[in-house]
Structure formats: structure tokens, C-alpha cells
């Protein structure tokens, strides 16, 4: 798989764009790259203005629209919103834009055994109530500090682990019958092992594979190239991305 520093090898109007407010969407991209190694992708992280989860709705829509329009200006045929906070805003879900929430709901409805589901997400996503349409009993827990803990590498510290434990306890105290927990923020996928170790045998669902069926039939170029873009310093993005994913990622800084 090649990771280019120019767009010269992309066929015009063909890559699939993937947008997230930070690093979590890289987990989604990583899964799609593994499943479709020949497809071209452009990843854009608005890391400079992340996290989105605590922003007012109008700012989430404004920033996301800027990123989406930028990806389309580069010739993307579709744009995937790998950000739950952005996907929760119906104003953004227009033609050729795929949000991550709808496919997540479809998967969850098929995977839970007793229909008692817990949701861990940002405050913005929780407040939107987008996951209330799930079948069964749904309990939600906002985790407003988790994105910052993950992006700053503090989730392994005693204070970071204390925050994670406290939020998980708050969720489980709401319903002792929860058998499935959704990581309703793509950043949370990066600490799924820690979450699993705390909640025991409860089924943890990440969002890294919910988009596979949606991408399978997209008509796009197939050269196996990926372009990484960020609104922050590219060297910082590369260091953080490499640490989180253990991959050698080379990005470019763009300005929205």
C-alpha cells in the first residue's frame, strides 16, 4: 500500500474521503484499507480544532462543512463522516455523504442478545439522542474528557484511568443487564482493550467495521493510494498517529 505526498496518482473525481475531528477516524480508515487494499482514500483530521464533542452544534456544522467541502474540492466521490458528533447532525448528511451512525445502529440491532445496550460517546453525541432509535433498552454515558485523554496520551496515567473507570461505573450502574456497549466515538476504539478489561465479559462494539458494506459498492479509483491531511502541524500528527496505530504515516497540513 502506498502513502503519497501528492495527488498525482489519484484518478480525478475518484478517491473516498474520510473525515474525523481527530485521530479516531484513522481506526476506521485502517479497517477499510485492510478490507479494500486497492481503493484510494483521502483522510482529513481537523485536529487543530478537536475535540468536537463539547462544541455547540453550530460550530460542529460549520467546521464539518468546511472539511467536507475541502474533500469534495479534491475530487472525492464520497465523503465518510467517521466522527459520531458530526454524523449526529442531520444537516450534514446530504448526497454523497455517509455518516457512521446509521450503519452502527443496524449492526447493534443485530448483535445484542438481550436488547440492553450501553452507549459511550461525547457529550454532543449523547445530547443529540441519535442512538435512542436502537431496539431495546438504551442507556447512555457522556465521556467528555476521553478524547483529550486519548489524544494527549494520558489515558494510561492513574488519573486518566480513574476518569475512565468512573464513567464506565456510571454507565453500568444505570442498568445491570447491559450485555453490549457501543464505543460511540471513534477515538474510544483506541482504548478498547482498557475498556474491555474493566467491564469484563460485556460485548464491546467498536465502529471499525460497520462501514465495510457501504464502501463495497462505491465506484472509485483503485490504485491503493492513501493521502493523509491534518489541520494541525503535520509532524505532530505523524508522531501521534504513529504512536496510536504503530504505523508510519506521513501527512500534510492544510488550512480550512
CA 83, 250, 219 angle in degrees (round to 5)?
55
**146 burial level (CB within 10 Å; 0-12, 13-18, 19+):** buried
* Residue 143: active-site member: no
* Residue 77: active-site member: no
CB–CB of 92/68 below 8 Å? Answer: yes
Given 76, 77, 185, 220, which residue is catalytic? 185
CA-to-CA separations, 170 to 27, 65, 191, in angstroms, rounded? 26, 34, 18
Nearest to residue 15, comparing CAs of 225, 213, 230? 225
Given 76, 77, 83, 143, which residue is catalytic? 83
β-bridge mates for residue 225, sequence order? 2
Nearest to residue 6, comparing CAs of 181, 236, 223? 223
The whole-angstrom separation of Cα 213 and Cα 211 is 6
The residues that are catalytic are 83, 185
Amino acid at each position: 500500500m502506498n502513502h503519497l505526498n501528492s495527488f498525482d496518482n489519484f484518478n480525478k473525481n475518484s478517491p473516498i474521503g474520510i473525515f474525523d475531528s481527530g485521530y479516531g477516524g484513522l481506526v476506521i480508515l485502517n479497517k477499510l484499507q485492510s478490507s479494500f487494499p486497492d481503493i484510494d482514500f483521502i483522510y482529513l483530521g481537523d485536529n487543530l480544532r478537536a475535540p468536537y464533542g463539547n462544541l455547540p452544534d453550530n460550530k460542529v456544522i460549520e467546521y464539518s462543512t468546511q472539511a467536507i467541502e475541502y474533500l469534495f474540492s479534491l475530487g472525492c466521490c464520497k465523503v465518510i463522516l467517521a466522527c459520531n458528533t458530526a454524523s449526529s447532525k442531520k444537516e450534514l448528511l446530504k448526497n454523497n455523504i455517509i455518516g457512521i451512525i446509521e450503519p452502527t445502529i443496524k449492526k447493534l440491532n443485530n448483535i445484542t442478545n438481550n436488547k440492553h445496550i450501553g452507549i459511550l460517546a461525547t457529550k454532543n453525541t449523547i445530547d443529540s439522542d441519535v442512538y435512542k432509535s436502537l431496539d431495546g433498552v438504551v442507556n447512555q454515558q457522556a465521556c467528555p474528557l476521553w478524547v483529550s485523554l486519548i489524544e494527549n496520551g494520558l489515558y494510561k496515567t492513574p488519573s486518566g484511568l480513574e476518569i475512565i473507570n468512573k464513567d464506565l461505573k456510571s454507565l453500568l450502574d444505570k442498568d445491570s443487564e447491559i450485555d453490549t456497549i457501543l464505543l460511540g466515538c471513534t477515538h474510544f476504539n483506541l482504548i478498547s482493550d482498557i475498556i474491555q478489561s474493566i467491564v469484563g465479559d460485556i460485548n464491546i462494539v467498536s465502529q471499525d467495521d460497520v462501514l465495510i458494506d457501504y464502501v463495497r459498492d462505491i465506484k472509485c479509483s483503485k490504485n491503493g493510494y492513501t493521502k493523509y491531511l491534518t489541520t494541525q502541524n503535520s509532524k505532530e500528527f505523524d508522531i501521534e498517529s504513529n504512536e496510536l496505530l504503530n504505523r508510519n504515516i506521513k501527512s500534510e497540513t492544510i488550512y480550512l
